[in-house]
């Protein structure tokens, strides 16, 4: 019996409240003699009944609340008890900590936030019985609760207040809420003034004097208003309370923050500073709600606006305890740090005219030629039979030097494009205003696809014939093939799209390509934020040692090339380190790079000579196509999603743009692969406008 009882108690810990309980039974349970915990549980059960689906899975909380009020009118005793429970709970409830702190995250690391959230989920910290957040957590557990609370009809609200007020002789039922609101306003204003007074932020809003700093003016204005309201108490003359100046200061603070964000986007982002700025914006937003509540009270509509404030607190309570919201916020902070500079680098990979298209084709052809050299050196290093670690180091040097040579010669490697152009595309989408600019975004996507096609065509178009010619010439000169027969046969077999893991490795390579662009963007951002080029340009030691203009030349070189240099070195490291980790751990880790694979396939075909099996070559060629698709799609998708989080682009905008791209493709499909005259001249201006349903 004890065992069954223990199991039931454990089940109760994880069992949701029953929303199908009988309403008369629930209302009959209400009693002012209940403990605080039982009252909370009673409210939670009542909320579950209110939110239960009516029909076809639809909820109608407003209708159910009206039904409860009508039902109570027919049962005076229950009505009195329910009113007393509401009155007692609200009478003891304090809102200061919820107004001032709820949902306004602390400045701590992501790991600490996750650990705290998990601990709170498993073993919640008991809150004070007087804490409003305890109410919000138990009675409004879903974020959607904010919507029906905010839209609650005013007549229904008045009926609820009348139900509570029947137990109070005072017109102002809960005067302590106003004091909590005033105290929270002062605390928030003090925190904004403190966080907004750091030198790192001052410099990015124009280095104003203390009197010009809007954060300090805001704090002084709020302190003055709150002090006067407290001093006058119930006899306050609201006509003498001027809240307009506070609204002006709030707007000035927001403008200062926008100015600082603009500076960071141009000169590099620092996660710590962005975190502090986001914290300030969150405080300003909460202050706006509290000031609006005070203004609504002044105008005699405080109860109605109180629903808006309550809805904001419900959302804040949910977001503060939701892992998805926490992850989204931190990912946005991380991605914002790199996306701006990755996007600016990605602009160099987008062609918009026929001349730029052929320039990309030429540049990519050079990249294809160098890839054959890289493939040959890769085979040469493998034939040395070096220890695994030493071989990985040598392959890193091979890849990195090859990619750096491409950069120095202004050649292009097609697989590096997607992760760069995706960030540039997200920047374009963010800069667009409304759906009117969706055509421009669709045209930009066409430019990106066309540029990518040109790069692939250039890489493979020269890599394959160069590899064939090189392998054939080597065989003629040396009398034996470049690849030994076993290696050539294994190379062709390893590209089979079904019998091997080559497509899985291709997806891993897509992730690697994205990561290298992420590191490149981070490095460029770090140099910009730390003002390294400016330090080089003004460094006296460099000027004395190498001349007056040496520092400027070094700074210019760094600005132009640091992203490419970093990305190439990191990409080379990943391409060598991933197979090494797979070899020493036995895990399915490997690299399948489309240009390297196509060159290896071409050399293998010539090396096998008359022993080659055409069907196996055809299957391997299909594998190469699959590798290319996964290389490009995975890296582009990951870069676009991170950039999307950083720029906070909505699903609706993405859907609208996708429809535009499809419409543009059906109108001129060839223009997605080649810049014909019609697409260059019109650029979509004659695109027929169709309605989307």
Q: What is the structure's pLDDT at 684?
A: 46
Q: Per-residue pLDDT tens for 142-163? A: 888 889 998 999 999 889 888 8
Is the same domain home to 293 and 369? no
Q: What is the structure's pLDDT at 396?
A: 96
| 314-323, 337-346, 407-416, 642-651: the lowest-pLDDT one | 337-346
Is the same domain home to 116 and 176? yes
**Which of 309, 335, 361 delimits the end of a domain?**
335
Q: What is the structure's pLDDT at 692?
A: 39
Q: State what percent of residues in the chain have pLDDT above 90.
A: 27
Is the same domain home to 247 and 312? yes
Is the same domain home to 475 and 396? yes
Is the same domain home to 256 and 387? no
Highest mean pLDDT: which of 160-169, 454-463, 579-588?
579-588
Residue 650, judged by CB atoms within 10 A of its CB (0-12, 13-18, 19+), counts as exposed
- The more confident residue out of 335 and 553 is 553
Distance CA 552, CA 535 (A): 9
Q: What is the structure's pLDDT at 489?
A: 94
Quote the mean pLDDT of the chain.
80
Q: Is residue 207 predicted with pLDDT exceeding 90?
A: no
Place of tokens 């070195």: 569
In a domain, 122, yes or no: yes
Q: Is residue 598 predicted with pLDDT exceeding 90?
A: yes
SS3 label, residue 513: helix
In a domain, 685, yes or no: no
Q: What is the structure's pLDDT at 480?
A: 92
In a domain, 199, yes or no: yes
CB contact set of 125 (below 8 Å; sequence gap of 6+): none
Is the same domain home to 91 and 199? yes
Is the same domain home to 309 and 342? no
Beta carbons of 586 and 539 less than 8 angstroms apart:
no
In a domain, 691, yes or no: no
Q: What is the structure's pLDDT at 298?
A: 83
Distance CA 3, CA 9 (A): 10
The DSSP code sequence of 525-545 is: HHHHHTTHHHHHHH-HHHHHH
Calculate mean pLDDT across residues 638-643: 74
Nearest to 299 by CA among 249, 239, 221, 232: 239
In a domain, 690, yes or no: no
Q: What is the structure's pLDDT at 487?
A: 93
| 198-207, 229-238, 532-541: the lowest-pLDDT one | 198-207
Q: What is the structure's pLDDT at 616?
A: 94
Is the same domain home to 363 and 315? no
Look at the chain and report how many structural domains it folds into. Answer: 2
In a domain, 355, yes or no: yes
**Which of 270, 301, 335 delimits the end of a domain?**
335
Is the same domain home to 313 and 392? no
Is the same domain home to 326 and 361? no
| 98-112, 346-360, 482-496: the lowest-pLDDT one | 98-112
**Which of 288, 315, 335 delimits the end of a domain?**
335
Nearest to 613 by CA among 457, 454, 523, 495: 495
Quote the domain boundaries for residue 628: 336-680
Is the same domain home to 355 and 324? no
Q: Which two tokens stand for residue 195?
A: 């966080």
Q: Per-residue pLDDT tens for 253-270? A: 888 888 777 776 666 555
Q: Is residue 565 predicted with pLDDT exceeding 70?
A: yes
Is the same domain home to 419 and 320? no
Q: What is the structure's pLDDT at 16?
A: 46
Confidence of residue 11 (pLDDT cuts 50, 70, 90): very low
Q: What is the structure's pLDDT at 57?
A: 67
Backbone angles phi, psi at 62, to 5 degrees: -65, -40
In a domain, 169, yes or no: yes
Q: Is residue 173 predicted with pLDDT exceeding 60?
A: no
CB contact set of 353 (below 8 Å; sequence gap of 6+): 675, 680
Q: What is the structure's pLDDT at 36?
A: 80
What are the respective helix, strand and coil percentages of the chain, to the nearest 5? 75, 0, 20
Q: Is residue 171 predicted with pLDDT exceeding 50?
A: no
Q: What is the structure's pLDDT at 119?
A: 59
Distance CA 656, CA 647 (A): 17
Q: Is residue 425 predicted with pLDDT exceeding 80?
A: no
Q: Is residue 34 predicted with pLDDT exceeding 90?
A: no
In a domain, 599, yes or no: yes
């Amino acid at each position: 019996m004890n065992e069954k009882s223990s199991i039931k108690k454990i089940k109760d810990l994880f069992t949701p409240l029953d929303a199908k309980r009988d309403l008369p039974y629930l209302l009959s349970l209400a009693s002012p003699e209940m403990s605080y915990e039982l009252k909370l549980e009673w409210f939670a059960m009542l909320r579950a009944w209110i939110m239960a689906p009516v029909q076809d899975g639809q909820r109608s909380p407003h209708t159910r609340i009206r039904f409860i009020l009508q039902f109570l009118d027919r049962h005076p005793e229950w009505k009195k008890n329910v009113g007393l429970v509401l009155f007692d709970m609200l009478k003891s409830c304090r809102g200061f900590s919820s107004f001032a702190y709820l949902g306004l995250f602390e400045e701590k690391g992501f790991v600490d936030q996750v650990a705290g959230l998990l601990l709170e989920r498993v073993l919640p910290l008991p809150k004070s019985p007087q804490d409003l957040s305890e109410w919000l957590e138990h009675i409004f557990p879903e974020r959607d609760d904010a919507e029906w609370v905010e839209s609650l009809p005013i007549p229904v609200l008045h009926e609820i207040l009348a139900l509570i007020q029947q137990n109070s002789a005072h017109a102002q039922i809960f005067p302590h809420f106003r004091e909590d609101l005033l105290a929270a306003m002062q605390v928030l204003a003090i925190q904004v003034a403190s966080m907004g007074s750091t030198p790192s932020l001052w410099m990015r809003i124009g280095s104003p004097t203390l009197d010009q700093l809007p954060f300090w003016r805001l704090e002084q204005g709020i302190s003055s208003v709150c002090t006067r309201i407290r001093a006058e108490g119930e006899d306050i003359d609201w006509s003498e309370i001027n809240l307009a100046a506070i609204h002006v200061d709030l707007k000035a603070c927001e403008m200062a923050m926008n100015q600082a964000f603009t500076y960071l986007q141009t000169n590099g982002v620092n996660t710590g500073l962005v975190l502090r700025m986001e914290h300030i914006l969150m405080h300003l937003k909460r202050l706006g709600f509290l000031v609006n509540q005070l203004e609504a009270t002044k105008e005699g509509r405080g109860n109605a606006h109180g629903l808006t404030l309550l809805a904001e607190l419900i959302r804040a309570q949910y977001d503060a305890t939701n892992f998805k919201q926490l992850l989204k916020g931190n990912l946005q902070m991380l991605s914002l740090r790199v996306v701006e500079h990755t996007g600016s680098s990605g602009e160099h990979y987008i062609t918009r005219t026929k001349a730029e298209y052929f320039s990309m084709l030429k540049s990519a052809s050079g990249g294809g030629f160098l890839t054959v050299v890289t493939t040959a050196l890769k085979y040469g290093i493998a034939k040395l039979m070096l220890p695994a670690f030493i071989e990985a180091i040598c392959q890193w040097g091979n890849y990195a030097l090859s990619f750096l040579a491409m950069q120095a010669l202004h050649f292009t490697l097609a697989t590096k494009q997607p992760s760069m152009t995706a960030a540039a595309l997200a920047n374009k989408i963010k800069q667009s205003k409304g759906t009117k600019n969706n055509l421009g975004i669709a045209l930009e996507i066409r430019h990106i696809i066309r540029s990518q096609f040109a790069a692939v065509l250039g890489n493979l178009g020269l890599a394959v014939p160069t590899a064939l010619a090189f392998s054939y010439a080597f065989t003629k000169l040396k009398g034996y093939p470049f690849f030994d027969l076993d290696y050539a046969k294994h190379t062709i077999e390893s590209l089979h799209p079904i019998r091997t893991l080559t497509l899985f490795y291709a997806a891993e390579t897509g992730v690697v390509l994205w990561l290298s662009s992420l590191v490149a963007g981070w490095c460029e951002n770090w140099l910009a934020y730390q003002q390294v080029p400016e330090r080089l340009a003004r460094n006296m030691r460099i000027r004395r040692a190498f001349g007056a203009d040496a520092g400027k030349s070094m700074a210019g070189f760094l600005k132009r090339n640091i992203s490419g240099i970093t990305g190439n070195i990191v990409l080379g490291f990943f391409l060598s380190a991933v197979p090494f980790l797979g070899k020493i751990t036995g895990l399915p880790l490997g690299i399948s790079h489309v240009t390297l694979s196509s060159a290896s396939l071409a050399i293998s075909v010539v090396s096998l000579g008359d022993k080659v099996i055409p069907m196996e070559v055809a299957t391997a060629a299909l594998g190469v196509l699959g590798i290319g698709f996964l290389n490009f799609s995975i890296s582009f998708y990951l870069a676009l999603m991170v950039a999307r989080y950083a720029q906070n682009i909505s699903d609706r905008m993405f859907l609208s743009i996708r429809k535009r791209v499809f419409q543009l493709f059906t109108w001129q499909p060839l223009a997605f692969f080649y810049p014909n005259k019609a697409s260059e001249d019109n650029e979509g201006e004659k695109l027929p406008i169709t309605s989307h349903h």
